[in-house]
Amino acid sequence: MIHEEISSAGTSIWLDDLSRSKISGNQPHALPARIRDAGVVGVTTNPSIFNSAISKGVEYATDIQSLNKSSVESVVKKLTTDDVRGACDLFAHIAQNSLDGRVSIEVDPRKAHQTQQTIDEGIALWKIVDRPNAMIKVPATLEGLPAVTELISLGISVNVTLIFSVERYVQVIDAFMTGLEKRVKAGSEIASVSSVASFFISRIDTAIDERLKSLNTDGARTLLGKAAIANAAIAYEAFESAMTSPRWKALADKGARMQRPLWASTGVKDPVYEDTRYVINLVAPHTVNTMPQATLDALLDHGKYRGETLQSLYSQSHEVVKNLSTLGIELAEITTYLEIDGVNKFIASWEELLNNVAQVMQS
């Protein structure tokens, strides 16, 4: 089975989706079946996922109406944390013996540029969910980085999300290590703290391919569909460098768990591309690939395992970035835009969710 081959190579399969029906259902797409039959060992969520689940899921209506004397935000917080807690319980047996079995919940995206507010909400969510295999998702904005350090230093597991550039990813690694070092200095254990760094994939190709197509030259066409995987390969190269550094060795010797790269946004946006390309081309040790349901289904149906595909791409990946620059396409410019756009899209989803829940409460 391809999911077993991918897992054996060191890439864990997580599902980028969550709803109440998936937690308790018996259908093939529900989490118990996915854990048993598809090798799913973790879950990620985001404001868009919660908006889709709660706004369209009739199973939430009774709870929403029963809480109609509460504020809209408190109702949404209860619904989302209840779902995450339920998913954490499903994966608890996996989390006992591995870095997997984690379920992520994101801080309010409207606080992405507010360090202290992100810290405060991260602490609150950690206490409300009250499960050791939960992860608090924090956007990798410049203001989010100190929040990552502080939450890690408090012993809170963190999923650092919306990472688009290798430069920002290196800062994320530093924020993570700094948090662990603060715990060590305070005399606290670090073995129980988990973290992943969510590096976004498909949106890179979507943005850069648009520019390449507008150039409409032979040189531009040869680079179509190459930027996202190249960017990920260079990020993994940075991960390997960090994990072999004296700084990390000192932390590992004290029991630290590595912060694994997590490939996010792995659903293919352009139908001309192979629908499993952001899974089978990103297989490497100590990584996670979180994928939407459609991508997981495609992988199980017709995905072709090609071995550990990422580590052999370093040289050609740097060449891709160089060639893009020659054409006037600067990756740093694209990733800066995508970070801003990513935060804004999550804010829009969160506000839509609040509005939808408010309407149910008033009905």
pLDDT at 24: 85
Q: What is the pLDDT of residues 194-229, one digit of tens each?
A: 999 999 999 999 999 999 999 999 999 999 999 999
10 Å CB burial of residue 41 (0-12, 13-18, 19+) is buried
CA 45, distance to chain mean position in Å, is 8
Adjacent-strand bridge partners of 261: 197
pLDDT at 139: 98
CA separation, residue 337 to residues 139, 288, 342 (Å): 14, 25, 8
56 is catalytic: no
**Percent of the residues in the chain that have a pLDDT greater than 90, as a whole number:** 93
**Percent of the residues in the chain that have a pLDDT greater than 70, as a whole number:** 100
Residue 73 DSSP class: H
CA 302, distance to chain mean position in Å, is 24
Rg of the chain over Cα atoms, rounded to whole angstroms, equals 20
pLDDT at 113: 98
Is there a contact between 137 and 161 (Cβ–Cβ < 8 Å)?
yes
Helix (H, G, I), strand (E, B) or coil at 35: helix
Is there a contact between 79 and 54 (Cβ–Cβ < 8 Å)?
yes
Long-range contacts of 166-172 (CB under 8 A, 24+ apart): 166/231, 166/234, 166/235, 166/238, 167/332, 168/140, 168/335, 168/339, 169/140, 169/197, 169/199, 169/235, 169/238, 169/239, 169/261, 170/238, 170/242, 171/140, 171/145, 172/140, 172/145, 172/148, 172/197, 172/259
Helix (H, G, I), strand (E, B) or coil at 137: strand
Superfamily grouping for domain 2-362: Aldolase class I (3.20.20.70)
Token pair recorded at residue 39: 């090798």
Q: What is the pLDDT of residues 163-182, one digit of tens each?
A: 999 999 999 999 999 999 99
C-alpha–C-alpha distance, residues 130 and 107, integer Å: 15
Helices (H), 216-330: 218-221, 227-243, 246-252, 277-280, 293-302, 314-326
Spatial CB neighbours of 283, under 8 Å, sequence gap ≥ 6: 6, 9, 10, 11, 289, 305, 306, 307, 308, 309, 310
Whether the predicted model's global pTM rises above the 0.75 cut: yes
Q: What is the pLDDT of residues 11-53, one digit of tens each?
A: 999 999 999 999 987 888 899 999 999 999 999 999 999 999 9
C-alpha–C-alpha distance, residues 156 and 191, integer Å: 12
Domain extents in the chain: 2-362
Instruction: Select which of 22, 137, 249, 304 is catalytic.
Output: 137
pLDDT at 43: 98
**CA angle (86, 46, 291) in 5-degree steps:** 85
Closest listed residue to residue 256, CA positions, set 311, 334, 163, 176 = 176
Is there a contact between 102 and 95 (Cβ–Cβ < 8 Å)?
yes
CA separation, residue 296 to residues 38, 183, 289, 328, 363 (Å): 8, 37, 10, 35, 37
**Residue 186 CB-half CA count within 13 A:** 14
C-alpha–C-alpha distance, residues 360 and 65, integer Å: 7
pLDDT at 101: 98
pLDDT at 57: 83
pLDDT at 308: 95
